[in-house]
Structure 1
Amino acid sequence: MARYHIETYGCTSNRGESRQIERRLRDAGHHRVEGAEEADVAILNTCTVVEKTERNMLRRAEELGDETADLIVTGCMALAQGEEFRDADVDADVIHWDEVPEAVTNGECPTTTPDAEPILDGVIGILPIARGCMSDCSYCITKKATGKIDSPPVEENVEKARALVHAGAKELRITGQDTGVYGWDDGERKLHELLDRICDIEGDFRVRVGMANPKGVHGIREELAEVFAENEKLYNFIHAPVQSGSDDVLGDMRRQHQVSEYVEIVETFDEYLDYWTLSTDFIVGFPTEEEEDHAQSMALLRETRPEKINVTRFSKRPGTDAADMKGLGGQVKKDRSKAMTDLKMDVVAEAYDDMVGETHEVLVVEEGTGDSVKCYDEAYRQVIVQNADDHGVEVGDFVDVEITGHSTVYAFGEPV
């Protein structure tokens, strides 16, 4: 697991976001250390209220970059003035705070505890459906803690989901190391069956499916896409981390899937759904990644155009096979990460720009900064509604909004 150090500056909202980041990191098996020099990754949650603060944030980012192996910059200044860090040549991933936990995991699966139970966090119900995975990735340390897939019966998970809905959950988040292989230990993948059954539960709520590796999804892609198409309660969203556009690198990663299988998943969901969100992950700078391999990853990103993309620079995890490989230089990883991140921002911005002028139904899931609220539309794209009190909009509401603009990784909506 990774050791992380986190620093938070600014308002109560920033502190709240840092708490959520830490909660997800702890759930994934990572642990906090006090000093950046002891950490595998440092997280700087920034403020940008005045010019002096901006200068302090840049200075602190430079200091943290010298003290730790990897630096992630998030928060207000990262979103509003991310180019300032790049112009100052700060060696960091500058990303939205929602993307921080995935970036810290280095492409690894999330980790749940052996006795993981559903929890209700506001109107968000978190339902771990299984523990473990069927993968043996050469860079992943998580498998040492989780073992192979262990899937409780469908009915057991349905009852847990029903209890969350009765307790007030408006959004159910289906989680696990690899949701796509749920049921594989019993000889049959059952994710599509489970989702169909959960959507039959009485109530007005939405369901988001957590990470599912392409190999597991590929074998049930038709059945899964059909369930999505038939159930309005399901967010039209899948997170299928491809990690590389090169079959050679995927082989060295021991990722089990090939690029063609990932593409076939995308094509299948395109056939069944008119409006949906593809989320994926790329690891850049894997020890055996050549320039041509990186170019293939860039080409795959352009081809499939996922609306949510996590870009992670490879870092070694102790005890993994990849840790014994001769690594690439830090500047190579930095350059490739920057190139892919720049392309990512163009692709994501285009997706949100296409939404402007459209009307979408959104679910309000939590309070945002000031008098704003954070919502998700039917494809699990984040929409911010400002002046929520004036509109009478509260957490847990379903609201029709017109998309009026965007800030690259989320949209702004006006209730109609």
Structure 2
Amino acid sequence: MEKVIDENKQGTSLQLEQKQDNTKKLFIESYGCQMNFSDSEIVASILSNEGYNTTDKLEEADLVLVNTCSIRDKAEQTVRKRLNQYNQMKTKNPGMKVGVLGCMAERLKAKFLEEEKIVDMVVGPDAYKDLPNLLKDVEEGRDAINVILSKDETYGDISPVRLQSNGVTAFVSITRGCDNMCTFCVVPFTRGRERSRDPQSIIEEITDLKQRGFKEITLLGQNVDSYLWYGGGLKKDYEKATEMQKATAVDFAQLLEQCATMFPKMRFRFSTSNPQDMHIEVIEVIARHENICKYIHLPVQSGSTRILQEMNRQHTREEYIALVDKIYELIPEISLSQDMITGFPTETEEDHQDTLSLMKHVRYDFGYMFAYSERPGTLAARKLEDDVPEETKKRRLTEIIDVQREIGLERMQRFLGKTVEVLIEKTSKRSEVEWSGRNSQNTTVIFPKENYNVGDFVMVEITDCTSATLIGKPVGYSSMQE
């Protein structure tokens, strides 16, 4: 089962509960990674206090915001097309204001206002608290832009509004930014240096979600495994911390343990991991707790050590394989997924074969696979020629997808005849009389509704599968059911 991101797919439009006294309408869409969707919940919360209720009808919006992704050129082109659609709507509603948020705003900055003149407001990922002031600038005819990156902003004091929520699953951000300067990636430039959120604020947010009936939390960050709280400051400054700060520091393994122990009737996931930062303690915590899902997204990008070095990935092929082997040893039932880039500058057929052989060794359940796309401002764009022909990239990507599809189907079939725990999230897309949820391994499971409800933990016997879905019949509640 491969999961290939469709970058042409329209972003998700989000809704939230309405405040009676609010009179203005906000239309907000998000593109890209889970962090962007989480950030949109923060933005909606801030603007809810400024008199805005969200709407899913573009034509009635007073303010239109798009939370953007810069990871690939195709993602940016999708946003540009959407902005043109917004501006066509503005001709019918001259009072409508349009703003760009997130990574694309950070990368292009004032160009949106000065050259393209297609937006009224440009707001970087660390400037959302400045939205009320920026809206005043717009109203008074001034340029409204804030793309200043912060060394300490985590939005830990903002209670996110859960957008388009199923009332069952939620994201909780624990880190922002990234210190890993991978040569292909714009994230360190668009989201700034890595910083961790106060663990107390994380626990308080999860407590609130539990009280509201949520059953599963995904701890979120660009690199959750490097989470480190020591009373404030960037991770890179940890050596300067006092002895007291170091003695009371909380790392990711400790945070994960604390969450699983304090909330035994909630399930926990996390994303994303960086192989160089995933330590044995984290794997042991996952193995120890039933309510920590047995699934890890473990991006590798290439199976060639030479290409990994060109990418400035801080691990080799051999180190990655050793980590995976240890994970399987301690958690045999684990599912792993990958990010893979093919056609990186200087990649040879031997490098490509190294990637295919790595995939066959690791046996990922699914993956996110792309041909290399040069991003302006990255080290690769400045130092390396994009020298792999497009036709070669396409052919290699097809081969990678084919290998993943074959392995993924085999990995799906391992569940046949077994009984798995499923958290019901929604009605199945294929039938109104079936539920859809995920098992611990992050695989979608569908089964007859019977007398179960959204939010129930149900044991399901797996009787069939497709390349992407498990099909079964319910046999009763799981021990997680309260």
Q: TM-score range by the shorter chain?
A: 0.7 to 0.9
Structure 1 residue matching 2:338: 3-state secondary structure: strand
2:272 is matched with which residue: 211, 214, 218? Answer: 211
Query: What residue is the counterpart of 1:310 in the other structure?
Result: 368
Map 1:48-59 → 2, pairs under 5 A: none
1:248 is matched with which residue: 285, 306, 313? Answer: 306
Change in 2 beyond 3 A, CA 1:382/1:41: farther
Query: What residue is the counterpart of 1:171 in the other structure?
Result: 216
Shift of 1:334: 0.3
Q: Give the Cα separation in 2 of the matches to 1:28 and 1:166.
A: 20
Shift of 1:28: 8.3
The reply to whether residue 292 of structure 1 matches residue 347 of structure 2 is: no
Q: Give the Cα separation in 1 of the matches to 2:346 and 2:277.
A: 25
Change in 2 beyond 3 A, CA 1:255/1:408: same
Shift of 1:22: 6.8
The reply to whether residue 401 of structure 1 matches residue 460 of structure 2 is: yes
Q: Give the Cα separation in 1 of the matches to 2:462 and 2:445.
A: 8
Q: Give the Cα separation in 1 of the matches to 2:445 and 2:31.
A: 19
Change in 2 beyond 3 A, CA 1:7/1:238: closer
**Which consecutive residues of structure 2, in runs of 5 or more, have no partner in the other structure?**
1-5, 12-28, 40-65, 82-124, 129-152, 230-234, 240-248, 476-482
Assess if the C-alpha contact under 8 Å between 2:185 and 2:378 holds in 1.
Answer: yes
Q: Which moved more, 1:297-306 or 1:313-322?
A: 313-322
Structure 2 residue matching 1:244: 3-state secondary structure: coil
The reply to whether residue 410 of structure 1 matches residue 469 of structure 2 is: yes
Q: Give the Cα separation in 2 of the matches to 1:25 and 1:161.
A: 17
Change in 2 beyond 3 A, CA 1:32/1:142: closer
Change in 2 beyond 3 A, CA 1:207/1:262: same
1:344 is matched with which residue: 404, 421, 442? Answer: 404
Q: Give the Cα separation in 2 of the matches to 1:38 and 1:311.
A: 14
Structure 2 residue matching 1:413: 3-state secondary structure: strand
Q: Which moved more, 1:288-297 or 1:263-272?
A: 263-272
Assess if the C-alpha contact under 8 Å between 1:364 and 1:397 holds in 2.
Answer: yes
Shift of 1:398: 0.6
Assess if the C-alpha contact under 8 Å between 1:4 and 1:32 holds in 2.
Answer: no
Assess if the C-alpha contact under 8 Å between 2:30 and 2:68 holds in 1.
Answer: no
Give per-residue Cα distances to partners, 1:266-303, cap 9 Å, x unaligned.
11111211211111111111112111101000000000
2:380 is matched with which residue: 322, 346, 354? Answer: 322
Assess if the C-alpha contact under 8 Å between 1:124 and 1:169 holds in 2.
Answer: yes
Change in 2 beyond 3 A, CA 1:154/1:392: same
Assess if the C-alpha contact under 8 Å between 1:180 and 1:189 holds in 2.
Answer: no
Q: Give the Cα separation in 1 of the matches to 2:181 and 2:451.
A: 49
The percentage of counterpart residues that share the same residue type is 29
Assess if the C-alpha contact under 8 Å between 1:404 and 1:414 holds in 2.
Answer: yes
The reply to whether residue 192 of structure 1 matches residue 253 of structure 2 is: yes
Q: Give the Cα separation in 1 of the matches to 2:9 and 2:440.
A: 33
Query: What residue is the counterpart of 1:148 in the other structure?
Result: 193
Instruction: Note the aligned Cα RMSD (angstroms).
Output: 3.0
What count of residue pairs does the alignment treat as equivalent?
330
Structure 1 residue matching 2:420: 3-state secondary structure: strand
Map 1:3-402 → 2, pairs under 5 A: 5-6=8-9, 24=34, 26-27=36-37, 40=76, 114=153, 115=155, 118=160, 120=162, 121=165, 122-183=167-228, 185=235, 186=238, 190-202=251-263, 204-217=265-278, 220=279, 222-324=280-382, 325-327=384-386, 328-369=388-429, 370-371=431-432, 372-385=434-447, 387-388=448-449, 391-402=450-461
Q: Give the Cα separation in 2 of the matches to 1:266 and 1:23.
A: 24
Structure 1 residue matching 2:186: 3-state secondary structure: coil
Q: Give the Cα separation in 2 of the matches to 1:202 and 1:339.
A: 43
Q: Provide TM-score, normalisation by structure 1.
A: 0.72
Assess if the C-alpha contact under 8 Å between 1:180 and 1:212 holds in 2.
Answer: yes
Assess if the C-alpha contact under 8 Å between 2:30 and 2:37 holds in 1.
Answer: no
Give per-residue Cα distances to partners, 1:31-72, cap 9 Å, x unaligned.
569xxx9965659xxxxxxxxxxxxxxxxxxxx9xxxxxxxx
Q: Provide TM-score, normalisation by structure 2.
A: 0.63
Kindly name which structure, 1 or 2, has the bigger radius of gyration based on alpha carbons: 2
Structure 1 residue matching 2:463: 3-state secondary structure: strand
Q: Give the Cα separation in 2 of the matches to 1:148 and 1:193.
A: 22
**Which consecutive residues of structure 1, in runs of 5 or more, have no partner in the other structure?**
9-18, 44-63, 65-110
Give per-residue Cα distances to partners, 1:62-101, cap 9 Å, x unaligned.
xx9xxxxxxxxxxxxxxxxxxxxxxxxxxxxxxxxxxxxx
Q: Give the Cα separation in 1 of the matches to 2:179 and 2:207.
A: 28
Q: Give the Cα separation in 2 of the matches to 1:155 and 1:189.
A: 11
Query: What residue is the counterpart of 1:95 in the other structure?
Result: none
